[in-house]
Amino acid sequence: MCQEEVAGFAHKNTYAAPNDGYTWQAQGAQLRVMGVLGYHDKSPKEWYCIPLYGYTAAIIVRSDSPYKTFPDLIEALKKDPNNIPVSASYRSTSWAINYELMRKVTDLGGRYVPYSGTPATHVALLTGDIQWR
């Protein structure tokens, strides 16, 4: 079972619990997209959410990367948008959502390589399978 399936299972159980204030679920960006991905059948409008702050988007590269600044990376993506592999863990994380937003705003590509969670994504970065995350 992948992390998205586990989160979807948690969503279903939380939503099915009595609405008595005793069952809570901590969830980040995934709540916005889990229904769209088919892991539960509820709209985000059907949840009572308490906004949480804690994730700050960051671009991570290896120390030997040619991209020393964010503009360096943007320039490289402009020159060769489909040849620079990137990952942001599984698709419903705040990291992946931020990557998609950046891609839309900058009209840049990047070859997205999915992994089954943050640890696997970090290993891929350290081994050179992806160039940034």
Is residue 121 a part of any domain in this protein?
Answer: yes
Which range (11-20, 23-32, 75-84, 119-128) has the least confidence?
23-32
- According to DSSP, the β-strands at 111-112 and 85-86 are parallel
Res 73 pLDDT > 60: yes
Q: Quick check: is 57 in a domain?
A: no
pLDDT, tens only, 27-61: 665 666 666 667 667 776 776 666 555 555 677 88
Q: Is residue 59 part of a domain?
A: no
Residues 85 and 117 in one domain: yes
Is 54 among the domain residues? no
pTM of the shown model:
0.56
The answer to whether position 16 is within a domain reads yes
Range of the domain at 31: 3-46
CATH number, residue 110 = 3.40.190.10
Question: By percentage, how much of the chain surpasses pLDDT 90?
Answer: 3
- Whether 74 and 112 share a structural domain: yes
Same domain, 74 and 33: no
Instruction: Output the pLDDT for position 19.
Output: 78
Would you say residue 119 lies in a domain? yes
Counted domains in the chain: 2
**Is 7 a domain residue?**
yes
The rounded percent of the chain whose pLDDT value lies above 70 is 68
Q: Which pair of tokens denotes residue 111? A: 């070859």
Residue of 75 and 9 predicted with greater confidence: 75
What distances in angstroms separate CA 31 from CA 66, 71, 75, 107, 120, one per listed residue?
A: 35, 32, 33, 26, 22
55, 93 in Cβ contact below 8 A? no
- Does 89 lie in the same domain as 41? no
pLDDT tens string 14-26: 778 887 878 777 6
In a domain, 61, yes or no: no
